[in-house]
Structure 1
Amino acid sequence: MPRPDLARLGVRHRRIPILAIGRDVYLDSRLILCKLELISSTSPSVHPPLGSSSSKASSEQLALERLLDVLTVDTSLYLDAARLIPSAVPAMKDPAFVKDRKDYFGGPLGQQPPTGKEAHAGAPPAASAALLRAESLAELRYAASLLESTLLADGRHWILGTPNPSVSDIEAIWPFHWLSSMPGAFLDGSGSQEAALGPAQYPRLFAWIDRFNSAIRAARRGQPSLVNRMDGAAAAQAVQATAYFEIPPKDAPPVDPQDPVSRAAGLRAGQRVVVWPIDTGMSHKDVGKLVRLSSSEVVIEVAPSDDAPSVLLHAPRHGFRVRPFTEVESPRL
Structure 2
Amino acid sequence: MAELILHHYELSTFSEKIRVAFGLKKLAWRSVDTPPAPPRPLLMPLTGGYRRIPVLQVGADIYCDTNIILPALQRLHPEPTFYPAGSEGVARGLSFAWERAIWIPTIGVISHFIGDMFPAEFIRDRKEGYLGIDISKAAMAPSLPQHLQHVHAQYAWLKAALADNRPFIFGHAPSALDLTCYQTTFLMRKNCPPEVDQLAGLAPLAGWYDRVAKLGHGTPQPMSAEEAFAVAKAASPTPPTHLQANGDPTGLRAGQKVTVTPDDNARVPVSGTLVAADATEIVIHRHDAEAGDLHIHFPRLGFEVVAA
TM-score, normalisation: structure 2: 0.77
Mapped to 1, the partners of 2:222 and 2:276 lie a distance apart of 32
Query: Relative to structure 1, is the Cα distance of residues 171 and 10 closer, same or farther in structure 2, using a 3 angstrom cutoff?
Result: closer
> What is the letter of the counterpart of residue 231 of structure 1?
S
Of residues 105, 108, 113 in structure 2, which corresponds to 1:83? 108
Asked whether the 8 Å contact 1:10–1:304 carries over to 2, the reply is no
Of residues 256, 265, 281 in structure 1, which corresponds to 2:247? 256
CA deviations on 1:245-286 (whole Å, 9 max, x unpaired) are 344379x4x2336x33x3xxxx4432322111101211x221
Map residues 1-333 of structure 1 onto 2, 5 A cutoff: 1-2=37-38, 3-9=40-46, 11-41=48-78, 43-48=79-84, 50=85, 58=86, 61-75=87-101, 77-86=102-111, 89=114, 92-102=117-127, 103-109=129-135, 129-148=140-159, 150-162=160-172, 164-184=173-193, 195-198=198-201, 202-203=203-204, 205-216=205-216, 220=217, 223=218, 226-248=219-241, 252=244, 254-256=245-247, 259-260=249-250, 262=251, 267-282=252-267, 284-305=268-289, 308-325=291-308
Asked whether the 8 Å contact 1:10–1:303 carries over to 2, the reply is no
Q: Provide structure 2 residue ranges, at least 5 long, that are not aligned to the other structure.
A: 1-36
Mapped to 2, the partners of 1:308 and 1:147 lie a distance apart of 43
> What is the letter of the counterpart of residue 11 of structure 1?
G
Corresponding residue number in structure 2 for 1:118: none
Asked whether the 8 Å contact 2:236–2:294 carries over to 1, the reply is no
Higher strand share: 2
Asked whether the 8 Å contact 2:256–2:273 carries over to 1, the reply is yes
Asked whether the 8 Å contact 2:45–2:291 carries over to 1, the reply is no
Asked whether the 8 Å contact 1:84–1:186 carries over to 2, the reply is no
Asked whether the 8 Å contact 1:12–1:285 carries over to 2, the reply is yes
Mapped to 2, the partners of 1:289 and 1:62 lie a distance apart of 29
> What is the letter of the counterpart of residue 148 of structure 2?
L
What value does the CA root-mean-square deviation take over the aligned residues? 2.8
Asked whether the 8 Å contact 2:67–2:96 carries over to 1, the reply is no
Mapped to 1, the partners of 2:62 and 2:194 lie a distance apart of 33
Once the two structures are TM-superposed, the CA of residue 104 in structure 1 deviates from its matched residue by: 0.8
Mapped to 2, the partners of 1:110 and 1:142 lie a distance apart of 24
Once the two structures are TM-superposed, the CA of residue 173 in structure 1 deviates from its matched residue by: 2.3
Mapped to 1, the partners of 2:168 and 2:242 lie a distance apart of 37
Asked whether the 8 Å contact 2:254–2:274 carries over to 1, the reply is yes
Query: Relative to structure 1, is the Cα distance of residues 185 and 281 closer, same or farther in structure 2, using a 3 angstrom cutoff?
Result: farther
Query: Relative to structure 1, is the Cα distance of residues 10 and 182 closer, same or farther in structure 2, using a 3 angstrom cutoff?
Result: closer
Query: Relative to structure 1, is the Cα distance of residues 135 and 87 closer, same or farther in structure 2, using a 3 angstrom cutoff?
Result: closer
Mapped to 2, the partners of 1:92 and 1:246 lie a distance apart of 46
The structure having more radius of gyration, on CA atoms, is 1
What count of residue pairs does the alignment treat as equivalent? Answer: 270
Asked whether the 8 Å contact 2:111–2:136 carries over to 1, the reply is no
TM-score, normalisation: structure 1: 0.72
> What is the letter of the counterpart of residue 122 of structure 2?
F
Asked whether the 8 Å contact 1:289–1:300 carries over to 2, the reply is yes
Query: Relative to structure 1, is the Cα distance of residues 268 and 146 closer, same or farther in structure 2, using a 3 angstrom cutoff?
Result: closer
Query: Relative to structure 1, is the Cα distance of residues 281 and 134 closer, same or farther in structure 2, using a 3 angstrom cutoff?
Result: same
Higher helix share: 2
Q: Provide structure 1 residue ranges, at least 5 long, that are not aligned to the other structure.
A: 51-57, 113-127, 188-193, 326-333
Once the two structures are TM-superposed, the CA of residue 46 in structure 1 deviates from its matched residue by: 2.6
